[in-house]
Amino acid sequence: MLLVNPKNPRQKVASSKINGRWAGGKISWFTYCDVCFKVDVVVAHVLDTPLMYPYEADDQVVMKDVVGICTLWNRKYVKVVV
Protein backbone atom coordinates (compact mmCIF):
# COMPACT_ATOMS: atom_id res chain seq x y z
CA MET A 1 0.00 0.00 0.00
CA LEU A 2 1.30 3.48 -0.85
CA LEU A 3 0.90 6.80 0.88
CA VAL A 4 0.73 9.75 -1.50
CA ASN A 5 1.51 13.40 -0.98
CA PRO A 6 -1.68 15.42 -0.30
CA LYS A 7 -0.16 18.39 -2.15
CA ASN A 8 0.76 16.24 -5.16
CA PRO A 9 -1.32 13.02 -5.30
CA ARG A 10 0.85 11.64 -8.11
CA GLN A 11 3.88 11.48 -5.81
CA LYS A 12 4.24 8.33 -3.72
CA VAL A 13 5.96 9.14 -0.45
CA ALA A 14 6.00 5.83 1.44
CA SER A 15 5.20 2.13 1.34
CA SER A 16 3.18 1.02 4.34
CA LYS A 17 0.84 -1.53 5.90
CA ILE A 18 -2.58 -0.66 7.32
CA ASN A 19 -2.66 -1.23 11.06
CA GLY A 20 -6.06 0.25 11.99
CA ARG A 21 -8.85 2.64 11.07
CA TRP A 22 -10.56 5.53 12.86
CA ALA A 23 -13.68 7.49 11.92
CA GLY A 24 -13.12 10.80 13.65
CA GLY A 25 -12.29 11.55 17.22
CA LYS A 26 -9.20 12.31 19.24
CA ILE A 27 -5.91 10.50 19.57
CA SER A 28 -3.69 11.84 22.36
CA TRP A 29 -2.33 15.01 20.79
CA PHE A 30 -4.92 16.09 18.19
CA THR A 31 -8.53 15.90 17.04
CA TYR A 32 -9.37 14.80 13.51
CA CYS A 33 -12.59 14.45 11.52
CA ASP A 34 -11.86 12.42 8.40
CA VAL A 35 -11.63 8.68 8.33
CA CYS A 36 -7.95 7.88 8.78
CA PHE A 37 -5.80 4.80 8.60
CA LYS A 38 -3.12 4.04 11.14
CA VAL A 39 -0.25 2.83 8.96
CA ASP A 40 3.07 1.18 9.70
CA VAL A 41 5.64 2.94 7.50
CA VAL A 42 7.98 0.36 5.97
CA VAL A 43 9.90 2.50 3.46
CA ALA A 44 9.92 6.28 2.95
CA HIS A 45 10.43 7.19 -0.71
CA VAL A 46 10.49 10.95 -0.07
CA LEU A 47 12.04 11.58 3.33
CA ASP A 48 11.17 15.26 3.78
CA THR A 49 7.42 15.01 3.10
CA PRO A 50 5.49 16.57 6.01
CA LEU A 51 3.33 14.16 7.97
CA MET A 52 -0.41 14.59 7.66
CA TYR A 53 -0.75 14.65 11.46
CA PRO A 54 2.65 15.63 12.91
CA TYR A 55 3.47 14.90 16.53
CA GLU A 56 6.13 17.46 17.40
CA ALA A 57 6.45 16.30 21.02
CA ASP A 58 8.07 13.08 19.73
CA ASP A 59 9.90 14.83 16.87
CA GLN A 60 7.63 13.19 14.29
CA VAL A 61 7.22 15.94 11.70
CA VAL A 62 8.36 14.48 8.36
CA MET A 63 8.18 11.03 6.80
CA LYS A 64 11.75 10.02 7.75
CA ASP A 65 10.79 10.39 11.43
CA VAL A 66 8.24 7.55 11.29
CA VAL A 67 10.02 4.88 9.24
CA GLY A 68 9.65 1.62 11.16
CA ILE A 69 6.80 2.92 13.32
CA CYS A 70 3.30 4.21 12.61
CA THR A 71 1.48 7.39 11.68
CA LEU A 72 -2.04 8.42 10.66
CA TRP A 73 -2.96 9.10 7.03
CA ASN A 74 -6.20 10.32 5.45
CA ARG A 75 -7.85 7.54 3.43
CA LYS A 76 -8.03 9.78 0.33
CA TYR A 77 -4.24 9.65 0.08
CA VAL A 78 -3.81 5.90 0.53
CA LYS A 79 -3.44 3.85 -2.66
CA VAL A 80 -3.66 0.07 -2.77
CA VAL A 81 -1.17 -1.55 -5.12
CA VAL A 82 -1.94 -4.92 -6.67
Note the pLDDT tens digit of each residue in 25-75. Answer: 555 555 555 678 889 999 999 999 999 888 888 899 999 999 999 998 988
pLDDT at 12: 96
Strands 78-79 and 70-74 come out as unpaired
Beta bridge partners of 23: 35
Q: Which residue has the higher pLDDT, 72 or 21?
A: 72
Rounded to 5, what percent of the chain is helix, strand, coil? Answer: 10, 65, 20
- Count of Cβ atoms closer than 10 Å to residue 51 Cβ: 20
**Distance between CA atoms of 6 and 19, rounded to whole angstroms?**
20
- Alpha-carbon distance of 65 to 10, in angstroms, equals 22
Task: Note the pLDDT of residue 22.
Answer: 61
Model confidence at 16: pLDDT above 60: yes
User: Taking the model in full, what pTM does it have?
Assistant: 0.79
